Amino acid sequence: MEEETPVTVTTPPHTPSGTQPPRVPIRIVTGPAGAGAAAMPAPQPGEPGGHGEPGGHGEPGNSGNSGEPATTVRLEAISCWYGGFRAIRDVSLDIERRRITALIGPSGCGKSTLLRTMNRMNDLVPSFRLAGRVTFDGVDIYGRGVDPVVVRRRVGMVFQKPNPFPKSIYDNVAFGPRINGYRGKLDELVERSLRRAALWDEVKDKLRQSGLSLSGGQQQRLCIARTIATEPEVILMDEPCSALDPRATLQIEELMAELSRDYTIVIVTHNMQQAARASDTTIFITMGDDRAGYVVERGPTLRIFTNPEHRLTEDYVSGRFG
């Protein structure tokens, strides 16, 4: 992964630096850097970079931010259980900032479970239990005093099946900002989010129509716009294209590439071509005889698909297994 060229972005992304609304209590920082410090516990002193770096604000595209740690989410020796069933065994991995990381692996190996530990969505499952540490910019998100509600605003999620609310397109996008107490100009934020999700041109004349009136691909982009609207830093995508046709899939992949300038993206996919096409880093997960998932191999996507180190990875990416 280190040998990979960093994504250099010369043009500032068209999100917001200039359009940033005036008084924003939740400190909207368009890029991943330093946001949310208002809500999350302060980062650990060992990491001086990123946070509050002057000039880092509002210029998210400049991934030059050298002081910023390269890792956003880090899983340390994670094990997960659903009741008595162990779904994940001792997984450690890093998610790199402003890259697209793909989690691939056979059905039922725990990819989604792993993804959901990163925004504490699994907390909603009563029988779920987790051991190990998940940190986000150095802060233990399962730590004492950390509210999952705050974590989830900063680590957004897009689901397998498009799930817009049965509300208007506008209200779908505005939902997150509203519940999180956004006090800027909502119209601007909605437009910006829809533009960012490459949906604005298609819906700008029908913002009052139901989100469910859109096609599947449009609905998924609406869900992405909805996620972006809460200004997260990480976007988790759980097989976001599995319910979409190839054209819509391609649109989403292009969108992901575009978004990865500003956001850290983690995608779970069953579609190996998708992982190969759309990700920078690939993590291959499989399960042992007890059906607990573990990480087999992690590396730059190109290497994982062309020159995997592990036999299991090779079998999987070449379609001999899984």
Partner 1 sequence: MTAHPAGPVAAPAAAAPRFEPSLMRRKLAGTVFLGVCLLAVGLLLLTLAVLLWDILSRGVPWLDAQFLTSGPSRRAARAGVLPALVGSIEIALLVALITFPVGVAAAIYLEEYATDGRINRLLRTNISNLAGVPSIVYGIFGLALFVRGLGLGFTLLAGALTLSLLILPVVIIASMEALRAVPHAQREAAFALGGSRWQVVRGSVLPAAAPGILTGIILAMARAIGETAPLILVGAVTFVTFLPNPIASGYTVLPIQIFQWAGDPREDFQSLAAAAITVLLVLMFVLNALAIVIRARLSRHLTW
Distance CA 314, CA 303 (A): 11
As measured in angstroms, the least distance from the Cβ of 167 to partner 1 is 6
Distance CA 244, CA 266 (A): 19
Distance CA 40, CA 136 (A): 10
Q: List the interface residues with partner 1, window 117-176 (CB under 8 A).
A: 119, 121, 124, 126, 149-150, 152-154, 156-157, 159, 161, 163-168, 175-176
As measured in angstroms, the least distance from the Cβ of 162 to partner 1 is 9
Choose which of 227, 269, 281, 313 interacts with partner 1 (CB under 8 A).
Answer: 227
Distance CA 234, CA 216 (A): 23
Stretch of residues binding partner 1 (CB under 8 A), selected from 8-16, 92-100, 210-218, 306-314? 210-218
Number of H helices, E strands in the chain: 10, 10
Choose which of 20, 180, 242, 271 interacts with partner 1 (CB under 8 A).
Answer: 180
As measured in angstroms, the least distance from the Cβ of 48 to partner 1 is 27
Judge contact between 321 and 315, C-beta under 8 A.
yes
- Give yes or no for residue 200 binding partner 1 (CB under 8 A): no
Closer by beta carbon to partner 1, 174 or else 296: 174
Choose which of 226, 237, 300, 316 interacts with partner 1 (CB under 8 A).
Answer: 226
What track of x and - describes contact with partner 1 for positions 228 through 257 (by CB under 8 A)?
A: --x---------------------------
Stretch of residues binding partner 1 (CB under 8 A), selected from 1-9, 67-75, 226-234, 303-311? 226-234
As measured in angstroms, the least distance from the Cβ of 108 to partner 1 is 19
String of b and e for 50-59 (b: at least 16 CB within 10 Å)?
A: bbeeeebbbb
As measured in angstroms, the least distance from the Cβ of 179 to partner 1 is 4
As measured in angstroms, the least distance from the Cβ of 315 to partner 1 is 32
Q: Residue 216: which of 164, 276, 168, 267 has the closest Cα?
A: 164
- Give yes or no for residue 310 binding partner 1 (CB under 8 A): no
- Give yes or no for residue 223 binding partner 1 (CB under 8 A): yes
Q: Residue 178: which of 229, 228, 222, 235 has the closest Cα?
A: 229
Closer by beta carbon to partner 1, 125 or else 131: 125
Closer by beta carbon to partner 1, 128 or else 316: 128
Q: How many residues bind partner 1 (CB under 8 A)?
A: 32
As measured in angstroms, the least distance from the Cβ of 175 to partner 1 is 6
As measured in angstroms, the least distance from the Cβ of 187 to partner 1 is 19
Binding site for partner 1 (CB under 8 A): 119, 121, 124, 126, 149-150, 152-154, 156-157, 159, 161, 163-168, 175-176, 178-180, 210-213, 223, 226-227, 230
